[in-house]
Chains A and B, each alone.
Chain A
């Protein structure tokens, strides 16, 4: 397994505020990695250092084998960035914009194919100003991937989307991942992380407080389950045994049966709570 992003002891201060305090992180080639954390936890600062936008105070950072603090044009051509807020180029059409950005890259994809891939073929001739929020974000993704990046950063890509647009967006991310692109995603939506990410890290107070697959994060897989039925409820580490006992007792269907493991959101809120 090769490593695309390698971080050790990353530190960044803004005046008196310690934004990132000794953060370690490894992101493997080809995986979808989600970074979760409350606002002000150091999430954006960390990602912007990885993207080469901000200087760090201390620590060791390598992205695609290069220190992003010394980013070169050649390195930029291998990295795609989809920013959180961009309202630029409103009076250009989708096609004009994607074609123009394709010129920046040595080995760009065909602009029309990219537009098709993000599902905007019908809007290719429309001015960006006329697009909906979700379509606008698809343009951002198109600009992020037109240079055929090995690594793609997505900063809270589906904020403000309706549920259907989010599902479509997720399909787009999955298809990029299937092509082998390493994807680093920051998000506030835990269901999004669960749906897309191979691995998840939770940042709080400038450090990683938990890291793992969405299913095992923070001991989720081994946490006790809550079993509820018509006449009672119980917390148990062996829900299957309990359900078997209940099934015998009721001799068939158990009325009102529910078996619930803690959701990613429960685990996340616990982790954030502990860190504060």
Chain B
């Protein structure tokens, strides 16, 4: 167990180092949600139904969720598909490295990258769009647990999805589609009040909608609760669904993970 953890942390530092050495990937992964935030925040001005909440603030909350999912789900899933294709996984499987250490490394490095992403998005939202940072401890605590649970769920989903693409070349296409779709139906870009109810039901099955809802509770405050479909942020339900994804994602990973490309075992 200790070996898994120490080697896992060594892998996390290696993975993070590798990520930052691919400068193009760094720039695109981090800047994508920031550019969208600046774009949407500049296009849609004004308040929402007299609540005193601006559209930019709403997008800030949504894009923090999408940004975390971009790192923990998209970046992770594509990264693993590449590891499977270029021989990283096969080489590791031939060493005495505890196999769980690979996942510890991926999760911890996703956590580090997500933390950077959230900090950048918060800085932009506060500086440009008057997003107010929470002032009480409860809200900060909510932010931490929503992000941690959401990130873990998204990462496990990413690990499971990484087994879908046949090889690294198709990985970006295969992984990006569910990510983009989820953003559209989970209230990141389009207000969920404008979606048909069956689409909202579909979105409710996946973690992104709940992560964004939890984030809105942190950044939009009590005034924003009226904008929710149920008139409440439903935090216990947020915790429940994200927690279920954690368990379900873990089971899915264990059942589907492959250490080689399809047809090679």
Which residues of A does B touch, CB under 8 Å?
Answer: 51-55, 73-74, 76-77, 79, 81, 83, 85-89, 91-92, 96, 100-101, 103-106, 127, 143, 147
Contact = CB atoms under 8 A, between A and B. Distances in A.
Contacts of B132: none
Nearest to A75: B96
- Which of B7, B86, B90, B98 has most chain A Cβ within 10 Å? B90
Contacts, number: 65
Given A53-B265, A54-B265, A104-B7, A88 B96 contact: no
Interface string B91-110: 10111111000000000000
Nearest to B88: A88
A92 B14 contact: yes
B86 A87 contact: yes
Interface of B: 6-7, 10-11, 14, 17-18, 21-22, 83, 86-88, 90-91, 93-98, 260, 265
Mostly helix, strand, loop or mixed at chain B's interface?
Answer: helix
Contact of B96 (A85, A100, A105, A127): A105
Q: Which 4 A-B pairs have the closest CB atoms?
A: A86-B87, A88-B88, A91-B21, A76-B96
B13 to A, nearest CB: 9
A91 B18 contact: yes
A86 B94 contact: no
A256 B21 CA distance: 63
Contacts of B14: 92, 96, 100
A51 B94 contact: yes
A83 B17 CA distance: 24
A89 B88 contact: yes
Contacts of A52: 94
Contact of B91 (A88, A127, A147): A88
Given A76-B95, A147-B96, A92 B265 contact: no
A74 B96 contact: yes
Nearest to B11: A100
A85 B91 CA distance: 10
Nearest to A79: B94
Contact of B7 (A87, A89, A103): A103
B87 A88 contact: yes
A77 B265 contact: no
Nearest to B265: A54
Mostly helix, strand, loop or mixed at chain A's interface?
Answer: loop
Contact of A104 (B90, B95, B265): B95
B95 A53 contact: no
Contacts of B22: 91
Contact of A73 (B10, B87, B98, B265): B98
Contacts of B98: 73
A106 B3 CA distance: 10
B187 to A, nearest CB: 37
Contacts of A88: 83, 86-88, 91
A149 B88 CA distance: 20
Given A53-B260, A92-B14, A104-B97, 16 more contacts: A51-B94, A53-B93, A79-B94, A81-B91, A83-B94, A86-B87, A87-B86, A88-B86, A88-B91, A91-B18, A96-B14, A100-B14, A103-B6, A103-B7, A106-B96, A147-B95
B171 to A, nearest CB: 15
Contacts of B17: 92, 96
B81 to A, nearest CB: 13
Contacts of B93: 53
- Which of A55, A74, A100 has most chain B Cβ within 10 Å? A100
A53 B96 contact: no
B90 A53 contact: yes
Contact of B94 (A53, A55, A91, A96): A53
Nearest to B99: A73
A100 B90 CA distance: 16
Contacts of A86: 86-88, 90-91
B94 A81 contact: yes
Contacts of A51: 94
Contacts of A100: 10-11, 14
A57 to B, nearest CB: 13
A76 B10 CA distance: 19
13 contacts: A55-B265, A76-B96, A86-B90, A88-B88, A91-B18, A91-B21, A92-B18, A96-B14, A96-B17, A100-B11, A103-B6, A103-B10, A147-B95
A73 B91 CA distance: 14
A53 B95 CA distance: 11
Contacts of B21: 91-92, 127
A97 to B, nearest CB: 9
Contacts of A85: 87
Contacts of A74: 96
A153 to B, nearest CB: 9
Contacts of B90: 53, 83, 86
Nearest to B101: A104
